[in-house]
C-alpha cells in the first residue's frame, strides 16, 4: 500500500474516532440533561385542551373532574356536583408548568424509596380533547419540603418538581366543589340593590337573632359610593355598605347539604330572605335557615338545585343591621 493510501486510511480512522467522540459528548447523560433542563415535563399539554382529570391513589379513583358545556363537574356518590373552575385552573397551571430542572434518578431500583412504586405512587391522569391522555406519577415529598418526586409513566427519569402538587393531591373531593352561592356576574361592583327581610334565630337561646327589613341600594355603577338604605332613604356609610356588598358577592359554603347527608333545619327558627339586583337588570333570591349543626346555616337559591351549608358568621357579615349601615365613621 502506497504512502498516500496509508495516509488516507489513517485520516478516515481518525475522522471516525473524532465523530464517535463528539457523539459521545453530545449524547452523554449530562449533556442530555443540560439540553432538556427547563423544558416542560409534560410535553404537548395545554390547559385549554384538558377536559378531564383523574386523581388515582393506590389504584382507586379519589377525585374525578369532568368539563362540560356549562363548566366543570365532579361526581360524589350518586350525585354530580359543580366543581370550581378557578381551583381546577390553578391546579392545571401548576401541573403543566412543571419543568425538567432537577433530575433525581434514572434507575428503576430507586422508585420504591422515592414513593414511586406501583403500590405507593399517586397517578394524575389528564384527558385532552382531541389528543391522547397524559399521565404523571407523584411520589414522596422531597427533603426540602417544597417539591415532589415525579415521573412520567413509561419513562425512567425521576424529577424533583417544585410546586403545590402535594397540597392539591391531599384534598378531599369536597375541596373541588364550586361552593360560591351567587353566580359569577354578581360582584361587589355590579350589585345595584340588596333587599333583606325576615327573621332567623341563630341559636337555641334566642339571644342571637337576625331580624331585618330594608333595601340597600345605589343609583348607578358610576356612583359606587352613593349608598342609601331604608324608607325613607338615608345615606349609608360607603365603607360599611361596600364591605357588605363584597361579602355577599363572595359568599361561599363549606359543603352541599346533599353531600353532608341532606339534613334539614330545625323547626321554628325562622327564615331570612335576601334579594340581589345587579346593574344589568338581573335579580337573584336567597333563602337562609338555620342548619342542623351549631354555627351553620342552610342556603337555597332561586336559580340552583343545590342547598349550601354556610358558616353563620359569614351570613352575619352579609346581613348587617340597618343601624350599622347608617352609622358614620
* pLDDT over 90 (residue 51): yes
Looking at the chain, the whole-number percentage of residues with pLDDT higher than 70 is 84
Residue 1 lies in a domain: no
Residue 6 lies in a domain: no
The span from the CA of 198 to the CA of 296, in Å, is 18
Residue 277 lies in a domain: yes
**Predicted local confidence at residue 27, as pLDDT:** 38
* pLDDT over 50 (residue 35): no
Residue with the bigger pLDDT between 36 and 256: it is 256
Residues 74-119: tens digit of each pLDDT: 987 788 999 999 999 999 999 998 887 778 877 777 788 888 988 8
Residue 164 lies in a domain: yes
Question: Considering 143, 176, 209, which residue would you say is the last residue of a domain?
Answer: 176
Based on the fold, state whether residues 218 and 147 are members of the same structural domain.
no
Residue 90 lies in a domain: yes
Closest CA to 135 of 98, 109, 103, 107: 98
Residue 39 lies in a domain: no
Looking at the chain, the whole-number percentage of residues with pLDDT higher than 90 is 49
What's the domain count of the chain?
Answer: 2
Based on the fold, state whether residues 317 and 252 are members of the same structural domain.
yes
Based on the fold, state whether residues 199 and 322 are members of the same structural domain.
yes
* Residue range of the domain that includes 146: 50-176
Question: Considering 176, 199, 233, which residue would you say is the last residue of a domain?
Answer: 176
Residue 285 lies in a domain: yes
Residue with the bigger pLDDT between 107 and 323: it is 323
Based on the fold, state whether residues 110 and 196 are members of the same structural domain.
no
Of the listed ranges 31-40, 252-261, 285-294, the least confidently predicted one is: 31-40
Residue 10 lies in a domain: no
Based on the fold, state whether residues 170 and 240 are members of the same structural domain.
no
Based on the fold, state whether residues 199 and 167 are members of the same structural domain.
no
Query: What would the 3-class secondary structure string for the chain be?
Result: CCHHHHHHHHHHHHHHHHHHHHHHHHCCHHHHHHHHCCCECCCCCCCCCEEEEEEEECCEEEEEEEEECCEEEEEECCEEEEECHHHHHHHHHHHHCCECCCEEECCHHHCCCCCCCCCCCEEEEEEECCEEEEEEEEEEECCCCCEEEEECCCCCCEEEEECCHHHHHCCCHHHHECCECCCCCCCCCCEEEEEEEEEEECCCCCCCEEEEEEEEECCCCCCCCCCEECCCCEECCHHHHHHHHHHHHCCECCEECCCCCCCCCCCCCEEEEEEEEECCCCEEEEEEEECCCCCEEEEEECCCCCEEEEEHHHHHHHCCCHHHHHCCC
Based on the fold, state whether residues 156 and 254 are members of the same structural domain.
no
Q: Give mean pLDDT, residues 56-74.
A: 92
Question: Considering 151, 176, 201, which residue would you say is the last residue of a domain?
Answer: 176
Based on the fold, state whether residues 297 and 259 are members of the same structural domain.
yes
The span from the CA of 79 to the CA of 305, in Å, is 12
**Predicted local confidence at residue 261, as pLDDT:** 66
* pLDDT over 70 (residue 268): no
Based on the fold, state whether residues 201 and 263 are members of the same structural domain.
yes
Residue with the bigger pLDDT between 183 and 76: it is 183
Q: Which residues pair with 60 in a beta bridge?
A: 57
Residues 221-264: tens digit of each pLDDT: 888 889 999 989 999 999 999 999 999 999 999 999 877 666 66
**Predicted local confidence at residue 21, as pLDDT:** 44
- How many CA atoms within 13 Å lie on the side-chain side of 301? 21
Amino acid at each position: 500500500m502506497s504512502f498516500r493510501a496509508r495516509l488516507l486510511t489513517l485520516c478516515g480512522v481518525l475522522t471516525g474516532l473524532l465523530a464517535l467522540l463528539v457523539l459521545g459528548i453530545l449524547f452523554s447523560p449530562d449533556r442530555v440533561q443540560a439540553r432538556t433542563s427547563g423544558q416542560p415535563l409534560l410535553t404537548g399539554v395545554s390547559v385549554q385542551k384538558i377536559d378531564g382529570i383523574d386523581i388515582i391513589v393506590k389504584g382507586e379513583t379519589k377525585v374525578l373532574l369532568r368539563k362540560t358545556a356549562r363548566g366543570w363537574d365532579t361526581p360524589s356518590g350518586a350525585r354530580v356536583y359543580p366543581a370550581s373552575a378557578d381551583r381546577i385552573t390553578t391546579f392545571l397551571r401548576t401541573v403543566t408548568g412543571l419543568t425538567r430542572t432537577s433530575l433525581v434518578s434514572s434507575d428503576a431500583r430507586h422508585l420504591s424509596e422515592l414513593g414511586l412504586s406501583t403500590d405507593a405512587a399517586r397517578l394524575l391522569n389528564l384527558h385532552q380533547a382531541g389528543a391522547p391522555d397524559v399521565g404523571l406519577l407523584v411520589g414522596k415529598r422531597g427533603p426540602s419540603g417544597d417539591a415532589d418526586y415525579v415521573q412520567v409513566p413509561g419513562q425512567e427519569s425521576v424529577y424533583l418538581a417544585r410546586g403545590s402538587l402535594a397540597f392539591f393531591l391531599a384534598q378531599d373531593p369536597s375541596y373541588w366543589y364550586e361552593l360560591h352561592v351567587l353566580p359569577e356576574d354578581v360582584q361587589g361592583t355590579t350589585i345595584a340593590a340588596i333587599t333583606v327581610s325576615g327573621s332567623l334565630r341563630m341559636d337555641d337561646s334566642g339571644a342571637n337573632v337576625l331580624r331585618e327589613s330594608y333595601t340597600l341600594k345605589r343609583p348607578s355603577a358610576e356612583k359606587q359610593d352613593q349608598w342609601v338604605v331604608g324608607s325613607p332613604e338615608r345615606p349609608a356609610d360607603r365603607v360599611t355598605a361596600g364591605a357588605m356588598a363584597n361579602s355577599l358577592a363572595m359568599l361561599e359554603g363549606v359543603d352541599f347539604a346533599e353531600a353532608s347527608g341532606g339534613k334539614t333545619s330545625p323547626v321554628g327558627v325562622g327564615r331570612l330572605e335576601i334579594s340581589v339586583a345587579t346593574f344589568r337588570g338581573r335579580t337573584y333570591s336567597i333563602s337562609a335557615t338555620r342548619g342542623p349543626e351549631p354555627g351553620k346555616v342552610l342556603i337555597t337559591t332561586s336559580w340552583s338545585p343545590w342547598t349550601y351549608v354556610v358558616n353563620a358568621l359569614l351570613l352575619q357579615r352579609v346581613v348587617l343591621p340597618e343601624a350599622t349601615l347608617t352609622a358614620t365613621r
